[in-house]
Each structure stands twice: as structure tokens, then as C-alpha cells.
Amino acid sequence: MSENENALNHIKKLIEDLNSNLRLTICVDDIHYSPFSYVVKVSIDDKKHKLEFDKSIIDDLEVALEKYKSSKYFNTLESNIKFTIYIELGKEGLLEGLDVSRELINDKRDWIKDYRVDIKFMPEMTKVLYEGLKGLHEFFDSQIEKHKSLGISYSDIEENKQWVQSLIDYYDENAHLNSTGVGVKNLQFLKSAAIKKIIDLEKIRKFEKVPTTLKALNQKISKIAIELRKDPFLEVELPAFIHDFIAES
């Protein structure tokens, strides 16, 4: 057996499994080692694309497949591989039919338990987060109205709405969302806000026909997804309400 054969077969399977979601057909043409990384050549209908995975992550995956399958560690590595695929192909508009927002929501990895970090966002990301927070606020409002009309409890939703409101107020007072010692709960809400924004962009993309606009939309979505794959968001688990949000949208 050649070096890292199991890991490379696993990656091939992950890519070809995308066919159940995609409108186009994706297939792996070749995987070869090129100094320090593995290059995976894929065809998506008539388009060719290359994905690159560093040797270190493939080494890790090979060990994890043998010793840690079904562990959080394995999930974490698999998540890293999957999102490399989603982001690389997604920004080229090659994953028609796959919404990265759903993948982010269903992501499985070793989540951080407790966390306090200093956060500072670039203006573009701040705008994304602020607009996402506004969107979450509207969503909670509509949920509360629905619960009221049905005469059922909505205290949890009210609590979430207030939390979002406090973040919106913070931005309105400071014109930024930067802060020191930020805890997990705030990060969960901010991560949800970014996902809300991705969902909004994906909805627009669904009905968009103009190639230039589609390209820009794909790049914007990928850009936000890349931010969510970094500290402080990467290891922050999304709150339960995100599933309400997906169900509603």
C-alpha cells in the first residue's frame, strides 16, 4: 500500500459524495503527490479544477482513519478537508446546489468549551456581522409573533432577541464590534449572524442569472465562510436556535 492511501481514498470519496447534492457531476480524475502537498484533479461537467491538501493534514487523516475514526478529532480533520473543498470549489461557482451555510450549520468537530478572546474585525466583516445581527433580530421578532398568536411560550426566543439587541446596541454606540475578553455566547451569536448573512446571499444567488453577479456572490459567500474557518469562530459551536432558523428559511 502506498503512503497515505487510505486518506487519499477517503478524500476521493468525500468529493464524489458531493454528487448527491450537486446539480453538476463531479469526479476525481487524479490524485498525485507534488512536493509538500497532494494535488487532487477534479472534473465538474466540462470544467477542470485542482484542489491542494498539504501533506501534514493527509498524514494526520491517515492516522485518524486507522486509530481515531468516530472521534471528535476525526470529525475535526474531516471538517477541515471538507471545507477546503467547499471553499475552493464554491468560490469558482462550481458547487451549484450546495449551500455552504448548511454545511457550516451541520459541521461536526471538537468544539471549544470555554473561551475568552480579544476580537477585532475588519470593516467588511463588521458590516456582515451587523447586517446578520439585524437579520437575526427580525427573525426572532417574527418567531415571537408566531408564538404569541399560537399562545405558546416564547421566553427562550425573547432571551435570544435581547442578546442580539445588546450586540446591535454595542455596534450603534461604538461603530465596531471589537472588544476584549469576549466569551463563547457572544461569539455564538456573531457566528450565527455571519451564517444568516450567507443564507441571505445564497437566497439571492438562487434566482440570479447574470454571470458577473453570480461570480461576485460566490466570492462574497466564500469570503465569509473563510472568516468562519478562523479563530475566533472556527471552534465555536453554533447555538441551537440556528436550526429553527434553517427550518424557517
Partner 1 sequence: MKRVFLSATYEDQMDLIEEIKSKLAELEIKVIHFKEPDFFNGKTGVHSHDICIEKVRETPNYLLIVNYRAGIDYEGSISDYHGLSLTHAEFRSALESTSKNRRMYCFVRRKVMEFFEIWKHLPNKHNIDSSWTVEPKVLQLLEDMETKGIWIDFFQHSLELKKFLSVKEFVRD
Residue with Cβ nearer partner 1 (151 or 181): 181
Closest approach, Cβ 60 to partner 1, in A, equals: 5
* Cell 482513519 sits on residue: 65
Closest approach, Cβ 135 to partner 1, in A, equals: 24
Closest approach, Cβ 56 to partner 1, in A, equals: 5
Closest approach, Cβ 230 to partner 1, in A, equals: 5
Residue with Cβ nearer partner 1 (79 or 143): 79
Q: How many CB atoms lie within 10 A of CB 104?
A: 23
Give the integer Cα–Cα distance in Å for 122 and 49: 30
Residue with Cβ nearer partner 1 (76 or 188): 76
Closest approach, Cβ 208 to partner 1, in A, equals: 30
Residue with Cβ nearer partner 1 (68 or 154): 68
Residue with Cβ nearer partner 1 (136 or 187): 187
Interface contacts to partner 1, rule CB under 8 A: 33, 35-37, 54-57, 59-60, 63-64, 68, 73, 76-77, 80, 112-118, 120-122, 229-232, 234-235
